Structure 1
Amino acid sequence: MDYHIKSKDPRLHFYAGDYDALVHARKPKGIDDKRAYMIGTGIGALAAGCFLIRDAHMDGSKITYLEQLDLPGGCLDGKVIQNVGYVARGGREMGHHFEVLWDLFHSLPSVEDPNVSVLDHLYYVNKDDPNFSNCRITTNCGKRYDNGKFNLGQKCAMELANFLMMSDESLQDKSIEEIFSDELLNSDFWCYWRTMFAFENWHSALEMKLYMNRFIHHVGGLADLSALQFCRRDQFTDFVTPMINYLKAHNVNFRYGVTVTNVEFEITDEKKAARKIVATDKDGKDISIDLTDNDLCFITNGSMTESSSYGTDSTPAPWNPALGGCWEMWKNIAKQSPEFGHPEKFYSQPEKSKWESCTVTVTDPRITKLVENITKRSPYGGRICTGGIVTAKDSGWLMSWTINRQEQYYGQPENAFEVWVYGLFPDAPGNFVKKPMRECTGHEITAEWLYHIGAPKDQIEELAGTCSAIPVMMPFITSMFMPRAFGDRPYVVPKNAVNFAFLGQFAETLDEPGRDTVFTIEYSGRTAMEAVYILAGVERAVPEVFASRYDIRYLLNAAGEMLDGEKPDLKLPLLVRRKLEKKIKGTDIELLLKEYNII
């Protein structure tokens, strides 16, 4: 390795480049004596099982999943509710530099075409049908607002640049609105950003900084969403199902209806070990599992979609912020050591971590025309339509909506397309439906959406009646964005832990400094790879988070993009400027600065 990428755990190494990426991990010593128990079946847990089989060469029959629900997949769902319709709680945006995810998905056969990998299929779907948006923001009932630019100006662009230079330590427990000016929080840039990533003003400034650094190479593609890739079908089909198929083909055990309420630990100064999984089955029978050092325990602590509630066309989604199994389990685990995190930092303010989504099924050609007026594309034909979310900037709910490639769900009627709608401000009254989104039925949310895409007011009720819609209230959907400090999330593998790890959005990765971002599938996959490689003794290194923040080319490009191509106003005294110009004249530095329109 040419340079040392720091790790918080000496058992874990990181790499950049192909030397480790292309090597096949050899079988770790002692792996045949080990078993693995996965608490939860979210992306992190499913990925961990795949890494155990592929890279640690564990016999799949020695891996057992314990899941409270009757369906795996965690937050990445997409399904048909009988006699009601299609519903998805959310979706994930994909980027080119999800190194861990692509490392896994190049090994798994695609559901759509088992002759190619998941990665190959996604790659060529997006190669043949590149993603971009023809309209990112609307106002005035469907009129295009955005001009494809951030419209920040020199002052706000400099404010963002200064923000990126702040230390992580200084941003602990700070909110975005404590750091950013009102001018920035009312900018077009912030409208793009907050609706794309679901940031609220009161969310973590530290997470905001991590996001800006993590995706600085994508800045130029954020205004028109050309930086993104989307799968062909719903994400459960395209991303979750290949992992489940792989695990089942290797005889992995799935146990559903299992509620884990605690993991009990033996903790000394030299060692931490999981000793018992406390669990009951769906009938309340104790099915707890005693653990030895050779029993590896992978814990998904916390959940973004816990306590989700569903409405119908005629009923609102009820508000039910009760703590479910994942949170109660983490609370009990955290009581045993301060190193196991502080779950209350994330779950204790559901009014600040909630938003609501709604899946609308459309068949009326009159609505199709309204959509096409905005997107300049047909929602039919299996190709990109919106190219990501469209935000109604003047919506009281700050409503955004998207139409993915159709047929999104296998078996979906040919004349139907699915619209996913979400509102960042579900407590505010709507513009057409004069009440908060959280109090609205599916029919009313559809009516509000139709208003914002330009439906004639006197036709809205009739048009809404041709649709079906399922609203979903999620009290903890952005809980991982709540302001936090170091130590509020447990490390993937805590210090001196020998047989357990934490997975998912509420675990802290082990790179130093931690550079990946939550609310992505990649983050779940990264926690899984780190956990498996340490506990199973896999010798192969983990890919580092793409280092665009350390690449001068991406930084210079981002500066130009944030200013919409305008040169930075470098406030230097004339004599100093001339001296610098003379110093760099004829050098590669001059060429670089000119290439990126800095001078």
Structure 2
Amino acid sequence: MADHRPSTRATAISRSARSAPKAYLVGGGIASLAAAAFLIRDGDIFDHNITIFEEFDSLGGSLDGAGSPDAGYVLRGGRMIECKYLCTYDLFASIPTLDERKTVTQEIFDWNETMKTSSKSRLLRDGQRQTAPEFGLSEKHILTIERLALEPERMLGRSSIADLFDAAFFKTNFWFMWCTTFAFQPWHSAVEFKRYLVRFAHMVGGFNRLHADGLQSVRFDGAAPAQVARSAWRDVRTEYAGHRLDCREADGTKIVMRIILDRAGHADEITVDSGDFVLVTLGSMTEASSLGTMDTAPTLKSKTDGGAWTLWEKIATRRPEFGCPSVFADHIDESKWVSFTLTLRDPTFLRLVGDLTGNVPGEGGLITFPESGWLASIVIPHQPHFIGQPENIGVFWGYGLHVDKLGNFVRKLMSACTGREIMTEVLGICGSRRKRQRFWKRLPASPA
């Protein structure tokens, strides 16, 4: 007679699974995806006990580059990695590529042996490329940078970069290359500037050609989130809904009691038990962003148009250990920026830029136009840039730091421009304004 009683081992596993802690990850960006992978790999958390909450309909956050040849591709931001990103490569070393032939880390290293970054046109002035431009720093500027790197942060206080340098510094090639690589503004914190100087000091030697020590590129945009997700995903749950946290104070600690989901006006609740984890990712650079079209400008939204800033404010209320969201969220007019993605059905523009810069797509990295009123930069990546992108389709990305200044050829604020107007300006600062008419019917663009 068969014994249908569960085995002791099966009972133990079932009991263990029921009593195991759960992890709730608020936000569906790369931070939460990486956290899920680390929790499974290093934290011994069952994948089915992990839930990711995302208010939009896709994962990836600021790394959500996607699209199609017909609708056009959209990149909401460019990402740079280099060989000192040890935690990133440690994670990627345990994650297979989508074709499962190698790890993501190995794919990145192999790709950078094939396509080495070496810009021949880091700066482009008056239609002329500048190869390995001199930094143009005075002795005073160099001494200030050295002092800044050594000075304790507490002595810098709330000073800005503009408080430490004279006006001439912000006209140097060093500043144009630095600020466009890391998206710095003169009013930004001197402490943050110092941290970047120290963190990326090893890159300065090749900074003007972007072949600085260890600078890396990835072959396909949008692949990393999919690869991280797939590696950990089998039974990880994803909830696409608006969400808020019900918290209480206990012994000086803020504890999450419930996660409340908004499903088209209907509220669902998830109870957080003792021993469970709630990880909240906040302050996304693309939170409350919007998309324009070839004929419409993107709409400037407020911090209340996305849930992340409101959630952070609630968590940090009377709790300074959770940071000060107002420092980041209450200066929209100063901190806003515009990026744009062009989907090309004609190879002429990529050939034009190749002739202008001396680099093939994927080789040159960031190209900055210091004379641009918008302080615009573009990147021509290796093609195809997206998995499944047809051979006859090209994609490039760009952005501006001075979005509330007039363009050189389009006399409008960049923040008020359509995709068509942005492309007009790009062609103008490339020295090709007269050629722009031939592109219009073939150039869907998405200013974001």
Once residues 365 and 273 of structure 1 are traced to their aligned partners in structure 2, the CA distance between those partners, rounded to angstroms, is: 56
Q: Could you list the per-position Cα deviations for residues 82-115 of structure 1 after superposition, in whole angstroms to 9, with x for gaps in the alignment? A: 953111111210010011111101000012x412
- Selected match of 1:262 from 245, 254, 259: 245
Kept after mapping to 1: 8 A contact 2:245/2:258: yes
In the alignment, residue 46 of structure 1 is paired with which amino acid? L
Equivalent in the alignment of 1:283 = 264
Q: Could you list the per-position Cα deviations for residues 102-155 of structure 1 after superposition, in whole angstroms to 9, with x for gaps in the alignment? A: 1101000012x4121000000010012211211100111x21135433122433
Match status 1:125 vs 2:111: yes
Equivalent in the alignment of 1:230 = 217
Between 123-132 and 314-323, the greater mean CA deviation after superposition = 314-323
- Selected match of 1:163 from 148, 154, 167: 148
Kept after mapping to 2: 8 A contact 1:131/1:225: yes
In the alignment, residue 250 of structure 2 is paired with which amino acid? I
Kept after mapping to 2: 8 A contact 1:327/1:343: yes
In the alignment, residue 401 of structure 2 is paired with which amino acid? L
Q: CA deviation at 1:64?
A: 0.9
Kept after mapping to 1: 8 A contact 2:366/2:379: yes
Once residues 378 and 82 of structure 1 are traced to their aligned partners in structure 2, the CA distance between those partners, rounded to angstroms, is: 22
Equivalent in the alignment of 1:469 = 445
Match status 1:428 vs 2:408: no
Q: CA deviation at 1:327?
A: 0.8
Q: CA deviation at 1:81?
A: 6.4
Match status 1:183 vs 2:160: no
Once residues 309 and 358 of structure 2 are traced to their aligned partners in structure 1, the CA distance between those partners, rounded to angstroms, is: 44
Match status 1:253 vs 2:237: yes
Q: CA deviation at 1:336?
A: 5.0
In the alignment, residue 239 of structure 2 is paired with which amino acid? R
Unaligned runs of at least 5 residues, structure 1:
1-29, 473-599
Q: For 1:205-220, what aligned pairs fall within 5 Å after superposition?
A: 205-220=190-205
When the two chains are superposed, the root-mean-square deviation of aligned CA atoms in Å is 1.8
Kept after mapping to 2: 8 A contact 1:136/1:389: yes
Kept after mapping to 2: 8 A contact 1:108/1:246: yes
Q: Could you list the per-position Cα deviations for residues 380-417 of structure 1 after superposition, in whole angstroms to 9, with x for gaps in the alignment? A: xxxx24x2110011000000000111111122221221
2:233 is paired with a residue whose SS is: helix
Kept after mapping to 1: 8 A contact 2:344/2:393: yes
Q: CA deviation at 1:454?
A: 1.9
- CA 1:447–1:184 in 2, change beyond 3 Å: closer, same or farther? same
Equivalent in the alignment of 1:38 = 25
Kept after mapping to 1: 8 A contact 2:405/2:412: yes
Once residues 109 and 435 of structure 2 are traced to their aligned partners in structure 1, the CA distance between those partners, rounded to angstroms, is: 41
Once residues 265 and 318 of structure 2 are traced to their aligned partners in structure 1, the CA distance between those partners, rounded to angstroms, is: 24
In the alignment, residue 63 of structure 1 is paired with which amino acid? I
Once residues 344 and 29 of structure 2 are traced to their aligned partners in structure 1, the CA distance between those partners, rounded to angstroms, is: 30
Match status 1:99 vs 2:86: yes
1:373 is paired with a residue whose SS is: helix
Kept after mapping to 2: 8 A contact 1:261/1:332: no
Once residues 391 and 297 of structure 2 are traced to their aligned partners in structure 1, the CA distance between those partners, rounded to angstroms, is: 28
Q: CA deviation at 1:39?
A: 0.7
Q: CA deviation at 1:318?
A: 1.3
- Selected match of 1:368 from 343, 350, 369: 350
Once residues 420 and 378 of structure 2 are traced to their aligned partners in structure 1, the CA distance between those partners, rounded to angstroms, is: 16
Q: CA deviation at 1:164?
A: 1.2
Q: CA deviation at 1:263?
A: 4.2
Kept after mapping to 1: 8 A contact 2:69/2:390: no
In the alignment, residue 442 of structure 2 is paired with which amino acid? T
Match status 1:69 vs 2:56: yes
2:216 is paired with a residue whose SS is: coil
2:382 is paired with a residue whose SS is: coil
The TM-score, its normalising length taken from structure 2, stands at 0.91
Q: Could you list the per-position Cα deviations for residues 21-70 of structure 1 after superposition, in whole angstroms to 9, with x for gaps in the alignment? A: xxxxxxxxx99621111111111111111111001111111111111111
Equivalent in the alignment of 2:123 = 137
Unaligned runs of at least 5 residues, structure 2:
1-15
Once residues 245 and 155 of structure 2 are traced to their aligned partners in structure 1, the CA distance between those partners, rounded to angstroms, is: 34
Kept after mapping to 2: 8 A contact 1:261/1:328: no
Match status 1:151 vs 2:136: yes
Q: Could you list the per-position Cα deviations for residues 319-344 of structure 1 after superposition, in whole angstroms to 9, with x for gaps in the alignment? A: 11242101111111112523222211
Q: CA deviation at 1:265?
A: 3.1
Q: For 1:213-362, what aligned pairs fall within 5 Å after superposition?
A: 213-227=198-212, 228-234=215-221, 236-237=222-223, 239-249=224-234, 251-256=235-240, 258-269=241-252, 272-323=253-304, 324-362=306-344
In the alignment, residue 215 of structure 1 is paired with which amino acid? F
1:309 is paired with a residue whose SS is: coil
- Selected match of 2:100 from 108, 114, 118: 114
Once residues 288 and 211 of structure 2 are traced to their aligned partners in structure 1, the CA distance between those partners, rounded to angstroms, is: 34
Kept after mapping to 2: 8 A contact 1:274/1:291: no
In the alignment, residue 255 of structure 1 is paired with which amino acid? E
Once residues 364 and 121 of structure 1 are traced to their aligned partners in structure 2, the CA distance between those partners, rounded to angstroms, is: 30
Kept after mapping to 2: 8 A contact 1:87/1:359: yes
Once residues 51 and 139 of structure 1 are traced to their aligned partners in structure 2, the CA distance between those partners, rounded to angstroms, is: 46
- CA 1:263–1:184 in 2, change beyond 3 Å: closer, same or farther? farther
In the alignment, residue 316 of structure 1 is paired with which amino acid? A
Q: For 1:399-410, what aligned pairs fall within 5 Å after superposition?
A: 399-410=376-387
In the alignment, residue 344 of structure 1 is paired with which amino acid? S
Once residues 261 and 20 of structure 2 are traced to their aligned partners in structure 1, the CA distance between those partners, rounded to angstroms, is: 26
Q: For 1:385-396, what aligned pairs fall within 5 Å after superposition?
A: 385=363, 387-396=364-373
In the alignment, residue 431 of structure 1 is paired with which amino acid? N
Matched-pair identity in %: 35
Q: CA deviation at 1:294?
A: 1.0
Kept after mapping to 1: 8 A contact 2:284/2:308: yes
Equivalent in the alignment of 2:395 = 418
In the alignment, residue 119 of structure 1 is paired with which amino acid? T
2:266 is paired with a residue whose SS is: coil
In the alignment, residue 53 of structure 2 is paired with which amino acid? L
Kept after mapping to 1: 8 A contact 2:120/2:132: no
In the alignment, residue 361 of structure 1 is paired with which amino acid? T
